[in-house]
Structure 1
Amino acid sequence: MRAFVGVPLEDAAIEGLVPVQEALRQGRLVDEENLHLTLAFLDDQPEDVLAELDAALDEIRVPRWDMEFTGVEAKGGRRPALVWADVAKVQPLRQLHDKVRGAARLSGIDLPRERFRPHVTLARFGRSRPADMGRLTAFLSEFGGFRAGPFPVERFCLYASTLTPEGPVYDVLAEYPL
């Protein structure tokens, strides 16, 4: 099963991001109900491994915190693949990220080493739908300094991700309170 661990957004945070998405007006916008902050992408995993991970994630304890959006960026250079809202990298978020990755490794999931850039993906661009760079540059000029929050974070989740032609469908497999 394709899965990931992430922080769901509360309604107020989603409401803060929707006007930014609407102003972008290009790419494949992430559906409101799919907006989240990914802590670890797990790729395809057997159900027994996810069950072991679930038990490990249930043991994680970190304090609650407030999420703040600190800008908007495009990732991918001259052919952007994503537009995202940056999230402030506060200590409880760093701790949660590290503990989630540790739990995944202990459950037998091999995660690639990568720098943690906390963000919420707003839109994706594909090869058949590349970004209009003029419009994207104007958008980033206007929204690059976007700020919103604070928004309380009180939980994180283990998600299943099913790819469909219309876009991914995320289902919460388990929730973990902070």
Structure 2
Amino acid sequence: MRLFIASPVKLDDYASIQKDFKDIIEGRWVKEENLHLTWVFLGNVKDEDSIINKLKKISPLVNKADIEELGYFGRPPRVFFAKAEKKSLYEKAGTFKEAGFDLYRFKPHVTLCRIKTIHDYKAYKEKLKEYREKIMGLILPEINLYESRLTSEGAEYTCIYKIKSIQS
């Protein structure tokens, strides 16, 4: 099964972000219920028990983390995302390494859209400026192991293990 470890995300107004960029970029938007911050992408795994045993060594996130600012990966841009550049997230990423997970070039972000085309680069850059230092939502203080199934309508995620917080 195709697995990844992530924290769910709650954006305040995802529809507005999509509306603001709909005439500027063309691509495949992530369904709102699938928005997440990926800690580790594991790929195809035959036995999730070893993964769960490693996850048991990791404590949950203590606090929610703000999502602020928009950005992109690639030249030309291919991934449109919301940033979450918090020291606490990098510190938590360190605990994944200590538990034996490989965090290749971890950069805390939430993928919003896989870009096919940018119709107007100037408008794209200007619109990005409007979102500088703007809090758009939260990374929830949960860490989950998800199975990802690819379908013609996009990925479908199923949570198969949760790191339980002290409050739950």
TM-score, structure 2 normalization:
0.82
Structure 1 runs of 4+ off > 4 angstroms? none
> Unpaired segments of 5 or more residues in structure 1?
106-110
Give 3-state SS (helix, strand or coil) of 1:56's partner.
Answer: helix
After superposition, residues 2-41 of structure 1 pair within 5 angstroms as 2-9=2-9, 13-25=10-22, 26-41=26-41
- Matching residue of 1:64: 62
- Matching residue of 2:144: 157
Contact 1:70–1:145 under 8 Å retained in 2: yes
Q: Could you tell me the percent identity over the aligned residues?
A: 27
Contact 1:53–1:104 under 8 Å retained in 2: no
Contact 2:97–2:103 under 8 Å retained in 1: no
- Matching residue of 1:98: 94
Q: How many residues align?
A: 161
Matching of residue 113 in structure 1 with residue 107 in structure 2: no
Cα shift at 1:145: 4.0
Contact 2:39–2:103 under 8 Å retained in 1: no
- Matching residue of 1:75: 73
Indicate the structure with greater helix content.
Answer: 1
Cα shift at 1:76: 0.9
- Matching residue of 1:140: 128
Give 3-state SS (helix, strand or coil) of 1:65's partner.
Answer: coil
Contact 2:70–2:128 under 8 Å retained in 1: yes
Contact 1:64–1:152 under 8 Å retained in 2: no
User: Aligned pair in 2 of structure 1 residues 56, 22: CA closer, same or farther (>3 Å)?
Assistant: same
Specify which of 77, 83, 86 is matched with residue 86 of structure 1. 83
What amino acid is the match of 1:124?
Answer: R
User: Aligned pair in 2 of structure 1 residues 153, 90: CA closer, same or farther (>3 Å)?
Assistant: farther
Distance (Å, rounded) in 2 between the aligned partners of 1:163 and 1:71: 28
User: Aligned pair in 2 of structure 1 residues 33, 152: CA closer, same or farther (>3 Å)?
Assistant: closer
TM-score, structure 1 normalization:
0.78
Give the alignment's Cα RMSD to 1 decimal. 2.2
Distance (Å, rounded) in 2 between the aligned partners of 1:136 and 1:34: 24
> Unpaired segments of 5 or more residues in structure 2?
none
